[in-house]
A = this chain, B = another copy of it.
Amino acid sequence: MSFEITTAYIDEIKALIQEKNNESLLHLMEDLHYADIAEIIEELEIPDAIYLIKLVDSETHSELIAELDDDTREKIFRGLSSKEIAERIDDLDTDDAADIISELSETQKKEVISHLEDEEHARDIIELLRYDEDTAGGLMAKELVKVNENWTVLTCVKEMRAQAEEVSKVHSIYVVDDNDLLKGRLSLKDLLTTSTRTEIKDIYIKKVDSVNVNDDAEDVAKIMRKYDLEAIPVVDELGRLVGRITIDDIVDVIKDEAEKDYQMAAGISQDVEADDSIWDLTKARLPWLVLALFGGFISVSVLGGFGEALENYKELFFFTPLIAAMAGNVGVQSSAIILQGLANDSLKGSLWNRLIKEILLSLLNGLVLAALLMSAGMYFLGFDFKVGLTVAISLVSVIIIASIIGTFVPIILDKRGIDPAMATGPFITTSNDIFGILIYFLIAKLILGF
């Protein structure tokens, strides 16, 4: 069922836009899902995209504008008046509307909001704009179906029909008291099987999971995932029902979170995409590279400090990149495993046990690798036994220390409330490079006595 956009299809649309053949364009768009139209728009030049956005009916395809990439939307909005933007936001759910409006400049925000048709919608959006985007308040929508505990099933069904007009997906029916305090929920299934005269207070489920507007978005994601919830109500400090979060928003949070961790591990300090400008990409990539460069300087100094050993043991220097690389790789492996454990709250046992385990594990890995290195190094590269032994012993020590650093730096950061993902990628590789080289030469000095 997947919809594939071919170059031929895009060319056809471009030609129709050139001819201003609105009828054929509308005919083509008619059967398409807004997510597909958004994909098409991403492929067009901005003037063509603006033409198409203006043409498409903003009511039937209201979610189209929310589906676009931030950058594309910003460029398209430059070609629309505040009134035209407001028209495209009028039919959006409050959460998407607030997300889009929050991207605008302060003056444009006010103008667009003043052009919104439905006053209640506008009020809801203004309320949502108050919340930080990484909180439950920033994720929630105001659209939900709520009933009063004092109503009968009949009133409830009538009211629900009215409310359901506004709500695209009904998950749960929330029950509140006269003060709007969240009391519980009604499942649609239950409602299907109860007599119409029953009072809501007699049939609703008193137990309902909820989150607070100020809760962290990631924690909301964890809760919804753990309890397999498809929607969760959001309450304010007083326990009043103020919104609800649906699972599709959580899917985005999980996806974004994973991408952020992945980028952090790859040494990219901002959320960038391959198609961003060279300037944006440089801003995201250069900081870690500068840090790695300074780390590199330290390793240059360390090597320089052992420079006199070059006379007699130049093979030692040939092995430096190998030792540094192994330290880096082992550190990255250890930190990745710990990070996932931290993220999933699945780390058990004491730090002491973890230390012993990590030492045993890296000793095992180290011995296998050292044996490989010694046999290959001496057989193929013809090093003398003492140098081979030095490199092998260093390799084992470096692996043990790198894996301890990789394991405990994220744990310590996490305990201090710092995002442990900081301790991955370039940071771990760079610091382990330095430690690796230092340990290597110290051991060499000890064994070879230079």
Give min CB distance, A264 to chain B, whole Å.
10
In the assembled complex, which residues on chain B have CB atoms less than 8 Å from the CB atom of A321? 296, 299-300, 303, 320-321, 324, 433, 437
In the assembled complex, the CB of A239 is this many whole angstroms from the nearest CB of chain B, namely: 11
Other-chain residue from B188, B265, B293 in contact with A326 (beta carbon distance below 8 A): B293
Number of copies: 2
Name the one of B164, B211, B247, B381 contacting A1, with C-beta atoms under 8 angstroms.
B211
CB distance from A288 to the nearest CB of B (A): 7
A214 to B336, CA, bound (A): 33
Per-position 1/0 for A215-243, Cβ under 8 A of B? 00001001101111010000000000000
A368 to B265, CA, bound (A): 23
Q: Give chain A interface residues in 367-415, CB to chain B under 8 Å.
A: 368-369, 372-373, 376-377, 380-381
CB distance from A176 to the nearest CB of B (A): 17
Would you call A446 an interface residue if the criterion is a C-beta within 8 Å of the partner chain's C-beta atoms? Answer: no
Given that A321-B321, A346-B273, A372-B293 are contacting pairs, would A209 and B1 also be in contact in the complex, using a CB cutoff of 8 Å?
yes
A192 at the interface (CB under 8 A from B): yes
Q: How far is the CA of A338 from the CA of B254 in the complex (A)?
A: 20
Q: Mark A408-450, 1 if CB is under 8 A from B, else 0.
A: 0000000000000000111001100100010000000000000
Give chain B nearest CB distance to A289 CB in angstroms: 6
Closest Cβ of chain B: how far from A349's Cβ, in Å?
A: 7
Q: A303-B321, A433-B325 known; A226 and B35 CB under 8 Å? A: yes
- The answer to whether residues A322 and B296 also contact, given A341-B273, A381-B301 and a CB cut-off of 8 A, is yes
Q: Does A361 reach chain B (CB closer than 8 Å)?
A: yes
Pick the most buried of A346, A349, A430: most chain B CB atoms within 10 A of its CB: A346
Instruction: List chain B residues, Cβ under 8 A from A35.
Output: 226-228
Which among B303, B324, B329, B354 is the interface contact of A288 at CB below 8 angstroms?
B329
- Check if A55 is an interface residue, CB within 8 A of chain B: no
Q: When the two chains form the complex, which single residue of B223, B360, B377, B430 contacts A2, counting CB atoms closer than 8 Å?
A: B223
- Complex alpha-carbon distance, A164 and B223, angstroms: 26
Is the CB–CB distance between B266 and A266 below 8 Å? no
Given A251-B250, A273-B341, A210 contacting B325 (CB threshold 8 A): no
- Which are the 8 A-B pairs with shortest beta-carbon distances? A296-B322, A266-B336, A258-B258, A274-B341, A303-B318, A299-B321, A321-B324, A300-B318
New A-B contacts (6) at CB < 8 Å, excluding given A289-B369, A293-B322, A310-B314:
A1-B211, A170-B188, A254-B254, A268-B337, A273-B337, A289-B326
**A-B CB contact pairs (8 Å), 11 listed:** A2-B222, A33-B227, A164-B192, A262-B336, A265-B336, A282-B364, A296-B321, A297-B322, A320-B320, A328-B429, A332-B426
